[in-house]
Chains A and B, each alone.
Chain A
Amino acid sequence: MNRATKHLLFAAASLLAVSAVAGDLKIGIAEALTGGAAQYGVPIRNGFQLAADEINAKGGINGNKVVLVVEDEQGKKEEAINVFKKLIFQDKVLMIFGPTLSNSMFAAGPVANAAKVVAFGTSNTANGISEMGPYIFRNSVMESDVLPVTVRTAVKHYKIKKVAVIYGNDDAFTKSGYDVFKKVLEDQKIPVTTTETYVKGDVDFKAQLTKIKATNPDAIICSGLAEEAATLMVQARGLGLKAPFIGGNGFNSPKLFEVSKTAGEGTFVGSPWANTNPTPANQHFVAAYKQKYGAEPNQFAAQAYDAMTIAAAALKSIKVSGNVTTDREALHGALPKVSISGATGPFKFRQSVGKDGKPAGYDADQTPFIYVIRDGKFVLFTGK
């Protein structure tokens, strides 16, 4: 090989390297796109895609295009680990959004943390997620921040003396919601008449509800997903059980009303997001989502959309060098400083403390809204 060819090759190689840098801000998306958790993972992916498309349509971030590398982690722990490894070591993404379920984050989060890559959950609400390490972020509001407010508001409104509890006990999300409810009820000294459980996939809750009815509670506290909760409500009313429901984060979906109709009247829910929130940022998101996907967005899509806005703000504040290691570190340094006002309202991060007592990852610092269901809609509760 002569000298000139060598030069030419070198020039071509550096040109390729430069073009790869100038064009792309690669961001990994690891969500459950097939399997049971896909009902959350798909809206989440849509939320990211919508935000990224809007950013790119406005010329990208400091002239760089956002490129999403989307992988399906199937809602499985093992698959989440595989996908994280692929995104970190093969695709060399700047950061990863996901995975969908708290279970999977507990498995895959440490992989990202060890590789010093930000893993940013938008739907993980279980306790202990951000304690895993300084590279674990989430903008999903923890149940322990929302539920005390929900319960206190409902108890005051309905003058509740005693409650019954029902929850899904084979799912990290609903089980963790139950643990928080249990603590809240102890703290607020509200007696529990009976605690009932069900498992994922159950559609017949009549045995548990008949039992609850016999204990005559003033309200039913339910830590479940929207689909199950809606069926629960319908079956409760069918059995002549009239007590109002108090729900966790899982209730926050328009799906709740598709089945429950009027069965859910009077239900209290705390939420970081609701589709009726009138702020311009939220109204824009709801309209844009509907136009792009022809479906109502849910809380998970809203949080993904906001998460991408948060990442974009951090990326805008740093100088992208093209060296993936330094860029990942710069992004990690910039993220905690971001505060935005998005579809879910004003947002900033709050650093959590790890099991060893040292500062660890970052949780959402947001005030929940309390909603009550009236005429088959979430209505912001104003004390009446």
Chain B
Amino acid sequence: MLEQQLVNALTLGSVYALFSLGFTLVFGVLEVINLSHGAMFMAGSFAALTVVTRLKAPLAVGILAAMLVSGLLGLAIDALILKRLRARHAPHLIPMIATIGATTVLTSAAQGLFGVEVQRFPDELLPTREFIFGSVHVRALELAIVGIAFLLMTTLFLVLRHTRQGRALRAIAESPKAAALLGINVEGLFLATSFTAAALGGVAGLLIGLNFNSVTPLMGQPILHKGIAVVILGGMGDIRGALFGGLFLGFAEVLSKAYLSSQMGDAVAFGLLFLILLVRPAGLFGRVLERKA
């Protein structure tokens, strides 16, 4: 039983990590808690679903559609809402509240467009391969999610560390004003970050929608709550933190369900989160906050 539960935990943790990557990226660069990330996640799922069912396109096109639609929505939210708030130097809470509004608009629009019921991907698209190692069952799609979560995390991490754009982004994260003075196109990179983060959210939505074969307008809400916990735990804005935070939450949840009681899953996971924050207030990978003052 333990081996199976560890595999269960790894896949659930990767799901959380995948969702949290884009979420934490926006925070790291824009310093905005973008609560519309759940809606990006949902939009990506619906975009892919529409493309594969209505246009009979292959899944690869669905992935592109998910990235593009979610990315453009993220770009639109940045250009229409966040950019204006930045220009007015709105305090932190304002963009957060504004993104709640954007979420309501997007989920209601999705309910109007696609209906309120759960939608499914067609069977022939679902990779149904399953691997059995001894007593452990794992599906191909679950392995793909684990792999993609690690791959995207590594790519993002390397891009931020070793490329010109990455350095520029880190400069912005340090101080947008100083970065602008150095000739970095701050607004442009903000828009690019919003696009990338939302596109990552869209891919996460597609993969997770495929894995559980369930796409609904409200699918972003429950995972958003977990995502917030992951980002706080990993250290706000830290890419490695998203991965380890996600895995931590997955393992805490699954193992407490397995060995305590399924009523206790969330209680134990969030209890541990609280304890960790008592010891490390900035999260696992977070920097000391005083430097900003």
A210 cross-chain contacts in B, Cβ below 8 A: 1, 4-5, 8, 258
Contact A239-B218, Cβ < 8 Å, known A38-B116, A204-B12: no
User: Is B123's beta carbon under 8 Å from chain A?
Assistant: yes
B residues near A239, Cβ cutoff 8 Å: 4, 137
- B interface residue count range (under 10 / 10 to 19 / 20 to 34 / 35 or more): 35 or more
- The B-contacting residues of A in range 72-127, CB under 8 angstroms, are none
Of the candidates A207, A255, A261, the one whose C-beta lies within 8 Å of that of B118 is: A255
Task: State in angstroms the CA–CA spacing of A198 and B12 once bound together.
Answer: 15
In the complex, the answer to whether A261 meets B123 with C-beta atoms within 8 Å is yes
Contacts of B111 in A (CB 8 A): 34, 38
B123 to chain A: closest residue by CB = A261
> Is the pair B116, A208 in contact by a Cβ cutoff of 8 Å?
no
Interface residues of A in 169-206 (CB under 8 A from B): 169, 196-204, 206
Closest to A212 in B: B262
Total cross-chain contacts (CB, 8 A): 84
Q: Do A206 and B8 have beta carbons less than 8 Å apart?
A: yes
Could you jot down 19 A-B contacts, CB within 8 Å? A36-B218, A42-B116, A197-B261, A198-B262, A203-B208, A206-B4, A206-B12, A207-B9, A207-B257, A207-B265, A210-B1, A210-B8, A211-B5, A227-B118, A238-B137, A239-B4, A240-B132, A240-B137, A255-B118
A34 adjacent to B116 (CB under 8 Å): yes
Q: Is the C-beta of A367 less than 8 angstroms from some C-beta in chain B? A: no
In the bound complex, residues from chain A placing their C-beta under 8 Å from that of B187 are none
Q: Is A39 an interface residue (CB 8 A)?
A: yes
In the complex, the answer to whether B214 meets A259 with C-beta atoms within 8 Å is yes
A255 to B115, CA, bound (A): 14
Contacts from A to B (Cβ < 8 Å): 34-36, 38-39, 42, 166, 169, 196-204, 206-208, 210-211, 213-214, 227, 231, 234, 238-240, 255, 258-259, 261
Q: Is the CB of A207 within 8 A of B214?
A: no
Chain B min CB distance to A257 (Å):
11
- Tell me if A238 and B139 are in contact (CB < 8 A): yes
Residues of A within 8 A of B130 (CB): 238
Q: Which of B108, B118, B253 has the most CB of A within 10 A?
A: B118
Chain B positions within 8 Å of A166 at CB level: 262
Q: Please report which residues of chain B, range 205-223, place their CB below 8 angstroms from some CB of chain A when the two chains form the complex.
A: 208, 212-214, 218, 221-222
B residues bordering A, Cβ < 8 Å? 1, 4-5, 8-9, 11-12, 15, 108, 111, 115-118, 120, 123, 130, 132, 137, 139, 208, 212-214, 218, 221-222, 253-254, 257-258, 261-263, 265-266
Query: Min CB distance, B88 to chain A, in Å?
Result: 32
Q: Are B116 and A39 in contact (CB under 8 A)?
A: yes
Q: Contact check: which of B218, B222, B263 meets A197 at CB < 8 Å?
A: B263
A204 to B4, CA, bound (A): 14
Contacting residues, chain A, for B118 (C-beta < 8 A)? 39, 227, 255
- Give the CA-CA distance A295 to B212 in the complex, in Å: 23
Contact across chains for B8 and A207 when beta carbons are under 8 A apart: yes
* Contacts beyond the supplied A197-B262, A206-B11: 16 A-B pairs with Cβ under 8 Å: A36-B218, A196-B262, A197-B261, A197-B263, A199-B266, A201-B222, A204-B11, A204-B12, A204-B212, A207-B254, A210-B4, A211-B257, A231-B212, A231-B213, A234-B213, A240-B137
Contacts of B266 in A (CB 8 A): 199
Chain A residues within 8 Å of B132, by CB: 240
CB within 8 A of A211: which of B1, B137, B139, B253? Answer: B1
Q: Which residues of A contact B263 (CB under 8 A)?
A: 169, 197
Cα distance A380–B240 in the bound complex, in angstroms: 54
Distance in angstroms between the alpha carbons of A324 and B132 in the assembled complex: 68
In the assembled complex, the Cα of A36 lies from the Cα of B132 at a distance in Å of: 36
Question: B170: shortest Cβ distance to chain A, in Å?
Answer: 34
Complex A-B, nearest 5 residue pairs according to Cβ-Cβ distance, in ascending order: A201-B222, A38-B116, A203-B212, A207-B257, A206-B8
| Distance from B280 Cβ to chain A, minimum over Cβ atoms (Å) | 27
A255 to B130, CA, bound (A): 24
CB distance from B146 to the nearest CB of A (A): 13
Nearest B residue (CB) for A43: B117
A206 to B213, CA, bound (A): 15
A204 B137 Cβ-Cβ under 8 A: no
